[in-house]
Chains A and B, each alone.
Chain A
Amino acid sequence: MNTPHRLPDSTACLWMLKKMILIRRFSEYLIPIYPTDVLETPLHLHIGQEAVPVGLCVHLTDSDTISFSHRSHGPALAKGINLQSLMAELYGKITGCSRSRGGSMHLVEPELGMHGSSAIVGGGIALGAGMALAAKLSNADHISVSYFGDGATNSGIFWETLNFSALKEIPLLFVCEHNHWANNMPAHHHMYGDPLLVSKVFMESFQIDGTDVLDVYKGMAQAVGYVKEMKKPAFALCKTLRWMTHLGVSYDETHCPENMRQKSCPIQKLQTIMMSENMIDASGIQHIIAEVDQDILDADTFAKNSPFPSPDSLMEDA
């Protein structure tokens, strides 16, 4: 954080703190389970990147739509996916949000504007634009968000959608959660130039510190507000750090070692400020953690106790 923020009110701060802790604790809970193979689904954890979806979703309503991709747990939890149906999906149970058909990368909750996340990088950007076009055609007030990583800017469909959205003036917010990696390729190898330099030509663009939820809060207030008011697209580039390896439950000690993680931790940053502003104290934080942990345990119990799909259901919805 370079400049001091005017703090959001304590309700917003508490909401964001709790959401980030939920994403963090949920992800950490999966770490020891994953190697036991009870979750037979590829995990892409959101640890360290919590500020971006949380600082975004605090400004969204249930009817605002969002498309996102394989690193799905962060945006899904921030937008409000039911924790039990998320956990059950990871366990491959019929009570999962996608009725066990999707797994970790394919989450859905239509009632909350999540119409399905994709594991092919790029395409979801166009789906988000289509939802924005639908809002425009039906004269609705809500907006749509295309949420993607820096790797997705390598794809043609990103540029196609940027161009289309600007031409057609649809209420779409592009959110690039730039964690500096496309799979296992670092940004300076996969991206020739800063996408913001180009996006500025097409639409209103915002640069946001994606490791600082208060900066995300402030930037997204402007970006979301712009799209809602002007009914035109905007672009938000949020640079953050990927603490984990691309896939699985290992920390990337080579590129994001302990000291770097501590310095960039969005939860630590918010806690420090909230404590200094007397919005919360250490026991208040412990209370949030305990509450979140209980919800996670309940979700785990729910998932474990849920039935697997019947093999007879294989051809349903085919």
Chain B
Amino acid sequence: MDAFSIPMEHDMPEGNRIISYKTAIQEATDQAMMHDSRVFVIGLDADDPSGMFGSLKNLSCQERVIGTPISENAVCGIAMGAALAGQRPICIHLRVDFLMSAMDIIVNYIAKWRYMFGGRVHVPLVIRAVIGRGWGCAAQHAQALHGLFAHIPGLQVVMPAFPYAAKGLLLSAIQDDNPVIIIEHRRLYDQKGHVPSEMFGLPLGKGYLMRKGRSLSIVAASLAVIDTLSAVDSNDIDADVIDLRSIAPLDMEIIRSSVKKTGKLLVVDYAYPFCGIASEICARVAETSFSDLRQPLARITFPNCSVPASGILEKAYYPSAKTIAKKALEMIK
């Protein structure tokens, strides 16, 4: 069977079908492969029993799971060529850092093809990559580089925070006719939540209001959403919490309307600060919602240095629910 149709959802439904983030990814992948013979998985260790930290375990169509040599640039190019020829590849990478070897293909090819050929070709390609953290992952295994990809026109970038979004965004990405980079956080893989068993999609480019409040708008993505919710819930902070879900396109509407209500904005982006998503959001809010602001914009990001290995330094490096709570409480004082 070729192609599948999925209902587009938005709200996070309540329910008691509790599964993990990695299982949600596995389920979406398996369902997509069962329903669409063009879908295949390719990448380093894709066919290893470890199944990409469990997110590719026990897939029904093993013949369309292709393990590859450590050749990220060629593998991304091969996945793209297959997409041009009508397949729907999911190109997987155990770390975001490894994608740097494929930046030529991602930036000069995948992102450009549709525009450069006047819409005569398109690249229905999904790239999945994982951000690492902890246990001395260090500078080359723990980078969050979504800002780099989002900078390039032609790339869609999503960062699911919950099992529900992990499934819905992956299915939307597979179904989309244009390239989507899905950045997952290793720390989220064992997070659990309700996920409907049937296939569904979430719109690319739409954020979601996780908590409603009046005093402050907090915008975050991926793991930073979990920490933000923990900060807000355990300190009774009266804040809007926006889960971006998608970095590019960026849902500015949900941010603007929240800022209009609260007059205060804190952006939490677990990534380098310089020229990052937090900067972009602050710039756009300053451009278009300046008169709604009642105090300076604030950002919480990584410090402007690489990730260290030593546990002591790691602890100093990463922001946490505590960092977020402290800043949020300061802002609503």
Which residues of A are interface residues toward B (Cβ below 8 A)?
Answer: 65, 67, 96-102, 106, 108, 110, 115-116, 118, 120, 122-123, 125-135, 137-138, 144, 156-157, 160-161, 163-164, 167-168, 316-318
Smallest CB gap from A127: residue in B: B81
Query: Do the beta carbons of B71 and A101 come within 8 Å of each other?
Result: no
Query: Do the beta carbons of B71 and A110 come within 8 Å of each other?
Result: no
Within the complex, what minimum Cβ distance (angstroms) separates B247 from chain A? 17
Which residues of B are interface residues toward A (Cβ below 8 A)?
Answer: 37-38, 40, 64, 66, 68-69, 71, 73-87, 104-105, 108-109, 113-121, 153-154
Beyond A110-B121, A133-B81, 6 additional pairs, beta carbon < 8 A: A108-B121, A120-B104, A126-B76, A131-B82, A161-B71, A161-B77
Alpha-carbon separation in the docked complex, A129 to B75 (Å)? 9
With beta carbons under 8 angstroms apart, the residue of A101, A125, A135, A168 that contacts B115 is: A101
With beta carbons under 8 angstroms apart, the residue of A106, A134, A163 that contacts B69 is: A163
Query: Do the beta carbons of A133 and B82 come within 8 Å of each other?
Result: yes
Query: Do the beta carbons of B117 and A98 come within 8 Å of each other?
Result: yes
Query: Do the beta carbons of B109 and A160 come within 8 Å of each other?
Result: no
Which residues of the partner chain B approach A135 to less than 8 Å between Cβ atoms?
A: 85
With beta carbons under 8 angstroms apart, the residue of A108, A168, A318 that contacts B117 is: A108
- Which of A97, A120, A122, A131: most chain B Cβ within 10 A? A131
Q: 8 closest pairs, A vs B, by CB? A: A130-B81, A99-B118, A126-B77, A160-B74, A134-B85, A160-B71, A127-B81, A317-B119
Which residues of the partner chain B approach A318 to less than 8 Å between Cβ atoms?
A: 115, 153-154
Knowing A99-B120, A102-B117, the reply to whether A157 touches B77 (Cβ < 8 A) is: yes
Alpha-carbon separation in the docked complex, A318 to B118 (Å)? 9
Within the complex, what minimum Cβ distance (angstroms) separates A161 from chain B? 5
Query: Do the beta carbons of A161 and B78 come within 8 Å of each other?
Result: yes
Query: Do the beta carbons of B115 and A317 come within 8 Å of each other?
Result: yes
With beta carbons under 8 angstroms apart, the residue of A101, A106, A138, A156 that contacts B86 is: A138
Query: Do the beta carbons of A130 and B40 come within 8 Å of each other?
Result: no
Which residues of the partner chain A approach B68 to less than 8 Å between Cβ atoms?
A: 164
Q: Provide 11 A-B residue pairs closer than 8 Å at the C-beta atoms, listed in order of the A residue.
A: A67-B81, A126-B74, A127-B78, A132-B81, A134-B82, A138-B87, A156-B73, A164-B68, A164-B78, A168-B66, A318-B115
Query: Do the beta carbons of B85 and A115 come within 8 Å of each other?
Result: yes
Which residues of the partner chain B approach A316 to less than 8 Å between Cβ atoms?
A: 118-119
Alpha-carbon separation in the docked complex, A108 to B118 (Å)? 10
Knowing A123-B105, A164-B69, A167-B69, the reply to whether A106 touches B117 (Cβ < 8 A) is: yes
Query: Do the beta carbons of A317 and B77 come within 8 Å of each other?
Result: no
Which residues of the partner chain A approach B105 to less than 8 Å between Cβ atoms?
A: 123, 126, 157
Query: Do the beta carbons of B121 and A123 come within 8 Å of each other?
Result: no
Knowing A157-B74, A160-B69, the reply to whether A101 touches B85 (Cβ < 8 A) is: no
Within the complex, what minimum Cβ distance (angstroms) separates A97 from chain B? 8
Which residues of the partner chain A approach B120 to less than 8 Å between Cβ atoms?
A: 97-99, 108, 110
Query: Do the beta carbons of B78 and A130 come within 8 Å of each other?
Result: yes
Knowing A126-B81, A127-B80, A127-B84, the reply to whether A116 touches B117 (Cβ < 8 A) is: yes
Alpha-carbon separation in the docked complex, A167 to B71 (Å)? 13
Which residues of the partner chain B approach A132 to less than 8 Å between Cβ atoms?
A: 81
Alpha-carbon separation in the docked complex, A127 to B102 (Å)? 13
Smallest CB gap from B109: residue in A: A123
Alpha-carbon separation in the docked complex, A118 to B112 (Å)? 10
Alpha-carbon separation in the docked complex, A123 to B109 (Å)? 8
Within the complex, what minimum Cβ distance (angstroms) separates B112 from chain A? 9
Query: Do the beta carbons of A137 and B64 come within 8 Å of each other?
Result: yes
Query: Do the beta carbons of B79 and A157 come within 8 Å of each other?
Result: no
Which residues of the partner chain B approach A123 to less than 8 Å between Cβ atoms?
A: 73, 77, 104-105, 108-109
Which residues of the partner chain B approach A163 to less than 8 Å between Cβ atoms?
A: 69, 71
Query: Do the beta carbons of B118 and A102 come within 8 Å of each other?
Result: yes
Query: Do the beta carbons of B66 and A160 come within 8 Å of each other?
Result: no
Query: Do the beta carbons of A317 and B78 come within 8 Å of each other?
Result: no
With beta carbons under 8 angstroms apart, the residue of A130, A156, A161, A164 that contacts B85 is: A130
- Which of B82, B84, B104, B118: most chain A Cβ within 10 A? B118
Alpha-carbon separation in the docked complex, A100 to B71 (Å)? 33
Alpha-carbon separation in the docked complex, A125 to B109 (Å)? 12
Which residues of the partner chain B approach A167 to less than 8 Å between Cβ atoms?
A: 69
Query: Do the beta carbons of B118 and A100 come within 8 Å of each other?
Result: yes
Query: Do the beta carbons of B87 and A129 come within 8 Å of each other?
Result: no
Alpha-carbon separation in the docked complex, A98 to B83 (Å)? 19
Which residues of the partner chain A approach B86 to less than 8 Å between Cβ atoms?
A: 134, 138
Alpha-carbon separation in the docked complex, A144 to B86 (Å)? 14
Query: Do the beta carbons of A164 and B82 come within 8 Å of each other?
Result: no
Which residues of the partner chain A approach B64 to less than 8 Å between Cβ atoms?
A: 137
Query: Do the beta carbons of A98 and B78 come within 8 Å of each other?
Result: no
Within the complex, what minimum Cβ distance (angstroms) separates A306 from chain B? 13
Query: Do the beta carbons of A106 and B116 come within 8 Å of each other?
Result: yes
Which residues of the partner chain A approach B80 to less than 8 Å between Cβ atoms?
A: 126-127, 130
Within the complex, what minimum Cβ distance (angstroms) separates B108 from chain A? 5
Which residues of the partner chain B approach A126 to less than 8 Å between Cβ atoms?
A: 73-78, 80-81, 105
Which residues of the partner chain B approach A102 to less than 8 Å between Cβ atoms?
A: 116-118
Query: Do the beta carbons of B118 and A137 come within 8 Å of each other?
Result: no
Which residues of the partner chain B approach A127 to less than 8 Å between Cβ atoms?
A: 77-78, 80-81, 84, 109
Alpha-carbon separation in the docked complex, A35 to B200 (Å)? 56
Alpha-carbon separation in the docked complex, A156 to B113 (Å)? 21
Query: Do the beta carbons of A130 and B84 come within 8 Å of each other?
Result: yes
Which residues of the partner chain A approach B81 to less than 8 Å between Cβ atoms?
A: 67, 115, 126-134, 144
